[in-house]
Amino acid sequence: MRIALVSEHASPLAVLGGTDAGGQNVHVAALAAGLASRGTEVTVHTRRDSRRMPRRVPLGPGVTVDHVPAGPAQPVPKDELLPYMDEFAADLHRQWSAQRPHVVHSHFWMSGYAAVRAARPLGIPVLHTFHALGVVKKREQGAKDTSPPQRIEVETGLLHDADRILATCPDEVFELLRLGADRRRVSVIPCGVDVRHYTPHGPVAPRGAAPRVLYVGRLVERKGIGNAITALTDVPGAELIIAGGPDPAGLEGDPEVVRLKALAERAGVTPRVRFLGRVDRAELPALYRSADAVMCVPWYEPFGIASVEAMACGVPVVATAVGGLADTVIDGVTGVHIPPRRPDLAAAALRRLLADPALRRSLGAAGRQRATAHYAMNRVITATLRAYAGTALALPVVPELRA
């Protein structure tokens, strides 16, 4: 089977931690490798953002990354990419006309826009994963939402133009149904983690005697890192380690780091907050294992891969009960749920966890069990392949593309 993954801004080769490089990059890379391990031939189509980048780069056995020329060959914020998506789609159409993939799986709304326009005239089935929805972003961020105004209309069209929608959590299904999705054409397949890489056993990153709270992810405001810093004022003696963002050498000039450091200074916790910058994937398990608790407290979150990585490493999670986190973290079983933007409740949850080693061990063990039972990458690959096969076999006559 030849599979085309389309991920216009989130390359599996990208260095993680930047503003537009996070969970989607991780998922696409892991999905591509997992599919190829089952004997498929995978091409990941992403936008070329550097003149030095070759057109095709091998990612691993059976996986090729195709850098599609669309727009300038330089980094462009993802919310400014829509004008180049017709050029992106035209290139995909030329490639797929010459060698048809059996299935196309697009990731994020602009990838879906391009994939449908390239694949449907050729009768190639398209499955789509949103990873995030414009209607949710608009609702949560209001005037701070920088998405193009066409986003919600395009996403609504994809509910009809794609052959199957792969939602990452039950909360997303609810949002899709509100937008008019046909429940019979929606499957829930979560993002997965390599539970052999993320494990409770192995080296532990160096740490001192202070209780350690860890945040892992992109440094963007809606991730709630500011709330985590504020919560530290009511958790005496604990340190907060923040992993993500630019290389360590670039931390001082990063606007979000500057903002968060100023917040820590106002809160009087500067000596207890440490920014690591970007951390390599190979080093993450040891960092997770060094923590007493992991904080995932975004204002909204489509999935939240860091929570599953932490659980796979046997570490309890304090999570806001939003989006995918309401499903991945089970309150009182694998971690603690709190409402978003409530640093007082985050502090209370941390104080309880840090004071009770037996509770931390219990939650951590249950988290590991849940991660392996529901989010192991092998399970995700199996479910995805079944969705591909079911969609390809059940396809009706290709309908006209919506205007």
DSSP, residue by residue, 277-294: E---GGGHHHHHHT-SEE
pLDDT-based confidence at residue 20 (cuts at 50, 70, 90): very low
Burial grade of 223 (CB within 10 A; 0-12, 13-18, 19 or more): buried
> Would you say residue 266 lies in a domain?
yes
Predicted confidence at residue 360, as pLDDT, reads: 98
Residue 170 DSSP one-character state: H
Rg (CA), the chain: 21
pLDDT-based confidence at residue 32 (cuts at 50, 70, 90): very high
Q: Do residues 221 and 102 share a domain?
A: no
Q: What string of DSSP letters covers 105-127?
A: EEESHHHHHHHHHHHGGGT--EE
Q: Do residues 35 and 76 share a domain?
A: yes
Q: Do residues 381 and 350 share a domain?
A: no
The strands making up 2-6's β-sheet, listed across from edge to edge, are: 56-60, 63-68, 41-47, 2-6, 103-107, 126-129, 164-167, 186-188
Residue 249 DSSP one-character state: G
> Would you say residue 102 lies in a domain?
yes
Residue 300 host element (H or E): none
Provide the domain limits for residue 251.
Answer: 212-374
pLDDT-based confidence at residue 123 (cuts at 50, 70, 90): very high
- Mean predicted confidence (pLDDT) in 265-283: 96
Q: How many CB atoms lie within 10 A of CB 358?
A: 7
Q: Do residues 127 and 268 share a domain?
A: no
- Mean predicted confidence (pLDDT) in 20-42: 87
Long-range contacts of 157-161 (CB under 8 A, 24+ apart): 157/402, 158/109, 158/112, 158/113, 158/116, 158/128, 158/130, 160/402, 161/112, 161/116, 161/120, 161/126, 161/401, 161/402
Q: Do residues 25 and 132 share a domain?
A: yes
Token pair, residue 68, equals 């599609």
Residue 343 near residue 324 (C-beta atoms within 8 A): no
pLDDT-based confidence at residue 154 (cuts at 50, 70, 90): very high
Q: Is the pLDDT at 229 greater than 90, yes or no?
A: yes
Q: Is the pLDDT at 191 greater than 60, yes or no?
A: yes
Average pLDDT of the chain, as a whole number = 93
User: What residues contact 225, with CB distance under 8 A and at least 6 apart?
Assistant: 215, 219, 242, 260
Token pair, residue 324, equals 């995918």
Q: Which of 123-127, 204-208, 246-250 bottoms out in mean pLDDT, i.e. has the lowest?
A: 246-250
Predicted confidence at residue 207, as pLDDT, reads: 96
Q: Do residues 159 and 19 share a domain?
A: yes
Q: Is the pLDDT at 6 greater than 90, yes or no?
A: yes
Q: Do residues 370 and 382 share a domain?
A: no
Q: Counting runs of H as helices and runs of E as strands, what totals does the chain give? A: 14, 14
> Would you say residue 201 lies in a domain?
no
Residue 354 C-beta-side C-alpha neighbours within 13 Å: 24
Predicted confidence at residue 21, as pLDDT, reads: 52
The phi, psi pair for 375, rounded to 5°, reads -125, 10
- Mean predicted confidence (pLDDT) in 211-234: 96
Q: State how many domains the chain has.
A: 2
Closest CA to 114 of 90, 137, 80: 90
- Mean predicted confidence (pLDDT) in 342-350: 98
> Would you say residue 142 lies in a domain?
yes
Q: How many CB atoms lie within 10 A of CB 323?
A: 25
Token pair, residue 281, equals 């994937």
Q: Is the pLDDT at 202 greater than 90, yes or no?
A: yes
Q: Do residues 102 and 246 share a domain?
A: no
Closest CA to 325 of 313, 315, 311: 311
Q: Is the pLDDT at 187 greater than 80, yes or no?
A: yes
Q: Do residues 8 and 150 share a domain?
A: yes
Q: Do residues 382 and 370 share a domain?
A: no
Q: What is the pLDDT of residues 242-270, one digit of tens each?
A: 999 999 999 998 999 999 999 999 999 99
Token pair, residue 163, equals 């052959």
Angle at 134 between CA 131 and CA 139, to 5 degrees: 120
pLDDT-based confidence at residue 376 (cuts at 50, 70, 90): very high
Closest CA to 46 of 92, 83, 98: 92
CA 25/CA 34 separation, integer angstroms: 14
Residue 129 near residue 109 (C-beta atoms within 8 A): no
Q: Is the pLDDT at 393 greater than 70, yes or no?
A: no
pLDDT-based confidence at residue 16 (cuts at 50, 70, 90): very low
Give the CATH number for residue 8.
Answer: 3.40.50.2000
CA 191/CA 183 separation, integer angstroms: 20
Q: Do residues 265 and 368 share a domain?
A: yes
CA 153/CA 158 separation, integer angstroms: 9
